[in-house]
Amino acid sequence: MLPSPDEMTARLLVLLFGFTWHELAHNAMAAFLGDPTPARDGRLTLNPIRYLDPVGSLMLLLTGFGWSRSGPLDPLAMRKAGSPRKAMALVALAGPLANFLLGTLAAALLRFIPMSERLMLIVGFVSYLEIQLAFFNLIPIPPLDGATILEGIVAPPVADFIEGLRPYGSLIFIAAFFVLPYLGFDLFFALIDEATRAFWLFLILLFSLF
C-alpha cells in the first residue's frame, strides 16, 4: 500500500534532512577523532546530494526504510579514540543519535509551536520515522551501525566473528528483513515498531508536562 501524501511528504523531509544529518554526524565524529578524510572529500556538509543513494532513497520513499551513501574513513587516523574499533563504534553511534535528536526535536515542535492540523500530522510522521530509523540502524547486523557499535564494545574474539560476517552482510540483511518476514518471521520489524512506538509516546508524554 502506498503511503498517504502527508506520510510521503514526511519521508521526503527525512530523506533530505534526516539522512543528511545521519551521515554528517558520522563524518563529524570521524573528523573530531582525527580522521582528515571527511574534510578532504568534502563530506562535512549539509548538502544532501553528497549522501543520497538512489536505491536507498527510493526504498525509503516506498517502504519507510532506506539507506544513504557513506564515504571511506580511516580508523587508524582516529587516535583520540584509543583504538580503531572503538573509533568506528563512536562514529557508528553518532548516526543513530543524530536521528534520535531530530526525532526528539520534531516531537517538541508538536508541543511548543502552533501549527495546522495537517502540518502537525507531517511533523508527527517525521518525528516517528526519525526514531524508527535510529532503532533500525542500531540492530547489530552488518552493514547496519549496530554491528559496528557492537564490535567496539565486545571482547576481541566476538568482534572478530562479527567482522568476519561483513562479506556476507548483504545476504544476512536480505534474509533478516525480506526473506524471513515473507515466511512469517517478522521479528526485527516488530521489535523496531514496538521500540519506536514506546519511545515516541514517551516523548509526547514528556513534552506534555511543560
Measured CA angle at 176 (ends 175, 182), to 5 deg: 75
Alpha-carbon distances of 45 from 63, 89, 101, 161, 169, rounded to whole Å: 27, 22, 18, 34, 28
Please tell me the total number of residues recorded for the chain in this structure: 210
Number of other residues whose CB lies within 10 A of the CB of residue 129: 27
Query: In the numeric block, which cell numbers belong to residue 135?
Result: 532503532
Q: Among residues 7, 23, 130, 151, which one is catalytic?
A: 23
- 117 catalytic, yes or no? no
CB 66 within 8 A of CB 56: yes
**Which residues have a catalytic role annotated?**
23
